[in-house]
Amino acid sequence: MMKKDRKHLSVSAIKDGTVIDHIPAEKLFNVISILGLDSIPNQITFGTNLESKKLGRKAIIKIADKFFKETEINKIALIAPTAKLNIIRDYEVVDKRQVEVPDEIIGIARCMNPKCITNNDSVITRFRVISKPRISLRCHYCEKITDQEHLEIL
Amino acid sequence: MIRNKSLVSINDYNKEDYLAILDLAEQCEARPVSNIMQGKVVATLFFEPSTRTRLSFESAVNRLGGRIIGFSEAGTSSVTKGESLKDTIKTVSNYCDLIVMRHPIEGSARYASEVSGVPVINAGDGANQHPTQTLLDLYSIRKTQKTLDNLVVIMVGDLKYGRTVHSLLQAMSEFNTTFHFVSPDELKMPGEYKMHLENLGLKYYEHKDFTNILPEADIVYMTRVQKERFSDPMDYEKVKNVYVLRSNMLEQTKPNMKILHPLPRVNEITEDVDDNMKAYYFTQALNGVFTRQAIICSILGLDQK
């Protein structure tokens, strides 16, 4: 009788790169698309619907050889404010970053007011963040508020 | 510091700035004609028509001895050739010392102030802001009540979309005002403004009609309930006569009470009110000229004395 060998696919720790943890499970694919992870050549592994005391179900993404700029992190913060970043160098966590929504958001979100100049002219959007963690943004131009429900990432 | 700064939103000024403008407006009223703007050019760029506001600004400039260039509707400007707002503003700011603009797109005035080489005064950007209206309202209130502090203000009509009531609420909330809001359900004061008052610990009351509150008022601020705001025309028909101020309603009101209206009025104040001493809306429009003179002088750093 032939012995059946079970193949193990191990998700190994990454040598260098970024681990994004504590993503709300339902936001995983948004995060992937916002960060453009579906179109980069880096090795990426992700898990979703993992148990989490805080979030109920969380997702995690490991991206090898990728380190995010602050503006990219800001984009995650808007839809997954609970996310945490672990920066890995030579298998060690060298830095942990709590993703935080900045006080000002430039060029990331769309103003929900169709009559706003930013939706009618080539003007870069700009907002003051007036509440966190349930996000609401006040447009620097038309002064209207865009809330979490209507938040659209550009 | 107001000098050289654009006035786009009432939020650009603080309480001290309001009072400085009102004091200066008093001086302008005492001496409405002068020559201190000699050699200064103001561009009035009205991308949508607003005859009343434009004439008020132009009268203010003329009485101060300044000159005016500009257009009164987008049809007569290079906008029809497809020029962007940025290019229009950048070009015109070479020709003048100050731009006064009105534009249907919200936030356009803020954007213009960022690309302009000279200060910009917002004379209305869509439903967003019209700060000189607010300052002339404040001037009218202080002039008639001798103070801005501790007053009772009743706001009537379209409190949902009316930018004048929103800006006036923000400005008056600096002066311990008690507010009464009288509007149909469809046009109630938005939650964000009520929250602003709650955060400041100010009192406000909401009503569906005038009931018995008129005798409490120091100021009654009327606005028009527009048919277009209702999704169901029947809802409009039901309320259209509820928010009308009539002469016989003024009998029990305080002697110092004054009725304000940003104009144009349609039928929300009956004409028999016009002859009442408490009707103040036409004088309010005159006050607009003095207030705009004061704003222009402050921004250009011109001394009235």
The string of pLDDT tens digits covering residues A21-69 is 999 999 999 899 888 899 999 999 999 999 888 888 999 999 999 999 8
Which of A122, A123, A142 comes nearest B128 by C-beta? A142
Looking at the structure of chain B, the number of domains it has is 2
pLDDT tens-digit series, residues B86-133: 999 999 999 999 999 999 999 999 999 999 999 999 999 998 999 999
Range name among A124-138, B10-24, B69-83, B283-297 with the lowest pLDDT average: B69-83
- Round the average pLDDT of chain B to a whole number and report it: 94
For residues B127 and B190, what is the distance between their CA atoms, to the nearest angstrom?
A: 14
pLDDT tens-digit series, residues B203-245: 999 999 887 899 999 999 999 988 877 888 888 888 888 899 9
- Examine the pLDDT at A81 and tell me if it is beyond 70: yes
Put simply, whether A144 touches B (Cβ < 8 Å) is: yes
Distance between A77 CA and the closest CA of chain B, angstroms: 24
pLDDT tens-digit series, residues B51-75: 999 999 999 999 999 999 999 988 7
Residue ranges making up the domain that contains B169: 132-285
Residue B3 annotated to the active site = no
> Residues B53, B88, B144, B223: which is the catalytic one?
B53
> Residues B54, B63, B102, B278: which is the catalytic one?
B102
Which of A115, A141, A144 comes nearest B111 by C-beta? A141
- Examine the pLDDT at B194 and tell me if it is beyond 80: yes
Mean pLDDT over residues B4-24, rounded?
A: 95
Determine, yes or no, domain membership for B3. Answer: no
Read off the CATH number of the domain in which B110 is found. 3.40.50.1370
- Round the average pLDDT of chain A to a whole number and report it: 88
pLDDT tens-digit series, residues A86-131: 999 999 999 998 888 888 888 889 999 999 999 999 999 999 999 8
Determine, yes or no, domain membership for B230. Answer: yes
- Examine the pLDDT at B135 and tell me if it is beyond 70: yes
Q: Beta strand pairing status for A92-98 and B204-207?
A: unpaired
Report the length, in residues, of chain B: 305
Phi-psi region of A113 (alpha: psi -120 to 50; beta: other; left: phi over 0): beta
Q: So what's the pLDDT on residue B13?
A: 96
Q: How far is CA B56 from CA B8, B43, B116, B242, B281, in A?
A: 17, 14, 23, 32, 14
CB distance B220 to B179 below 8 Å? no
**B85 and B229 part of one domain:** no
For residues A152 and A105, what is the distance between their CA atoms, to the nearest angstrom?
A: 13
Determine, yes or no, domain membership for B150. Answer: yes
Determine, yes or no, domain membership for B2. Answer: no
**B245 and B124 part of one domain:** no
Q: So what's the pLDDT on residue B225?
A: 87
Put simply, whether A87 touches B (Cβ < 8 Å) is: no
CB distance A88 to A14 below 8 Å? yes
Beta-ladder partners of B181:
B155, B206
Closest C-alpha among A102, A112, A101, A100 to residue A139: A112
Distance between B59 CA and the closest CA of chain A, angstroms: 28
Contact A117 B192 (CB under 8 A): no
CB distance B28 to B290 below 8 Å? yes
The pTM score is 0.86
Determine, yes or no, domain membership for B4. Answer: no
Which of A118, A122, A145 comes nearest B107 by C-beta? A118
**B29 and B136 part of one domain:** no
Q: What tokens were used for A101? A: 């929504």
**B234 and B103 part of one domain:** no
For residues A85 and B119, what is the distance between their CA atoms, to the nearest angstrom?
A: 44
For residues A79 and A133, what is the distance between their CA atoms, to the nearest angstrom?
A: 10
**B18 and B101 part of one domain:** yes
Q: So what's the pLDDT on residue B226?
A: 81
- Examine the pLDDT at B187 and tell me if it is beyond 80: yes
Put simply, whether B106 touches A (Cβ < 8 Å) is: yes
Mean pLDDT over residues B261-273, rounded?
A: 93
Which of B85, B125, B192 comes nearest A121 by C-beta? B85
**B78 and B24 part of one domain:** yes
**B107 and B250 part of one domain:** no
**B279 and B145 part of one domain:** yes
Residue from B79, B89, B106 to probe the interface with A (highest A Cβ count within 10 Å): B106
Put simply, whether A118 touches B (Cβ < 8 Å) is: yes
**B173 and B115 part of one domain:** no
**B185 and B122 part of one domain:** no
3-class SS at A147?
Answer: strand
Query: Which residue is closest to A141 within chain B, CA to CA?
Result: B107
Determine, yes or no, domain membership for B1. Answer: no
Put simply, whether A124 touches B (Cβ < 8 Å) is: no
**B168 and B250 part of one domain:** yes
**B49 and B178 part of one domain:** no
**CATH T-level topology, domain A17-98:** Alpha-Beta Plaits (3.30.70)
Q: So what's the pLDDT on residue A11?
A: 60
**CATH T-level topology, domain A104-153:** SH3 type barrels. (2.30.30)
Q: What tokens were used for A34? A: 């916002």
Residue A31 half-sphere exposure toward CB, CA atoms < 13 A: 33
